[in-house]
Amino acid sequence: MQINIPELSIPQRQAWLQHAIAPRPICFASTIDKEGNVNLSPFSFFNLFSTNPPIVIFSPSRSGRDNHLKHTFLNVLEVPEVVINICDYDMVQQVSLSSCEYAKNIDEFIKAGFTKTKASIVQPPMVKEAKINLECKVIETKNLGDKGGAGQLIFAEVMYMHVNESILNDEGTMIDHHKIRHIARLGGDTYAVMNKQNLFTVPKPIKELGIGVDALPESIRNSHILTGNDLGMLANVQILPEINVAFYDEKLTNIIQYFSINPTEMEKELHLYAKTLLSQKKIDDAWQVLLAGENV
């Protein structure tokens, strides 16, 4: 299927792009106007764009329905400060409730049932229930258009951070992703929660250059069994590994003996075994199994 984006209606455009660009973290923004009226609203057009200076950007778009500017955007034009509260699963239903289009003088802290706490250096209050709060100065805004759906970017410099100790690792040195169940928005009504079952790690590419998929032996590169993820792990070595004569693996020996009269089946079995080893992050062993097949 191919989609010519400019031909779509605004709601369709929004739906296709939001379903595709997912999951998106949620900025739960607390702002005030110059009279001191408080606003609290969620925005998933949000991310970290720079650490030096520390800049996040989020976008309360012009309404796709009637083109109005969101209160959050109007507020930061009056008082250029925001507290970005980071959302987790314990808050998701209240966060959703706070996105109702309440009138400008209505305080969504009260409507959604959140507790205010005083920020250290900015005027808008923080959400007590959020386990992370970022106090920010708004340094710039950028209007991406005048029609409904046009993003209104808010560039916010993070000045001060509050982290609830309950989400720190055992050493107390960093946020533990297993302890804060971050939420993210996908398309439509669908959200994701980051919990034990769906967290995984990918080791950073080696500091030296990985050999790359193009440098893998042809039989490995064109394997019908090894996937792109498998090739990515194998190609993240500095030099093409060589056979290690000291490597002994009973299963490898059995495969080579059993399939010695059928090289095609042997290659298949070796690739399947290497794939299993890769899934256990035993990359050196997987290489030895594959090299054994290359040299039979």
Ligand X SMILES: Cc1cc2nc3c(=O)[nH]c(=O)nc-3n(C[C@H](O)[C@H](O)[C@H](O)COP(=O)(O)O)c2cc1C
Q: Which residues bind ligand X (CB under 6 A)?
A: 26, 39, 41-45, 59-61, 70-72, 96, 99, 101, 185
Identity of the residue, 60 or 125, whose beta carbon is nearer to ligand X in the bound complex:
60
Task: Compute the least distance from the CB of residue 145 to ligand X, in Å.
Answer: 13
* Residues 206 and 237 sit within 8 Å (Cβ to Cβ): yes
d(CA 240, CA 261): 28
Task: Compute the least distance from the CB of residue 53 to ligand X, in Å.
Answer: 22
Identity of the residue, 66 or 250, whose beta carbon is nearer to ligand X in the bound complex:
66
Identity of the residue, 44 or 223, whose beta carbon is nearer to ligand X in the bound complex:
44
* Residues 44 and 26 sit within 8 Å (Cβ to Cβ): yes
Question: How many C-beta neighbours within 10 Å does residue 51 have?
Answer: 8
Closest listed residue to residue 54, CA positions, set 168, 198, 164, 158? 158
Task: Compute the least distance from the CB of residue 59 to ligand X, in Å.
Answer: 6
**How long a stretch of residues is the chain?**
296
d(CA 38, CA 123): 10
* Residues 30 and 40 sit within 8 Å (Cβ to Cβ): yes
Task: Compute the least distance from the CB of residue 254 to ligand X, in Å.
Answer: 54
Q: Cα dist. 270→64, 85, 237, 242, 265 in Å? A: 55, 50, 20, 16, 9
Identity of the residue, 26 or 56, whose beta carbon is nearer to ligand X in the bound complex:
26
Task: Compute the least distance from the CB of residue 7 to ligand X, in Å.
Answer: 23
d(CA 83, CA 32): 10
Identity of the residue, 45 or 273, whose beta carbon is nearer to ligand X in the bound complex:
45
Task: Compute the least distance from the CB of residue 144 to ligand X, in Å.
Answer: 11
Q: Cα dist. 263→131, 252, 267, 292 in Å? A: 57, 14, 6, 12
* Residues 183 and 193 sit within 8 Å (Cβ to Cβ): yes
Identity of the residue, 28 or 287, whose beta carbon is nearer to ligand X in the bound complex:
28
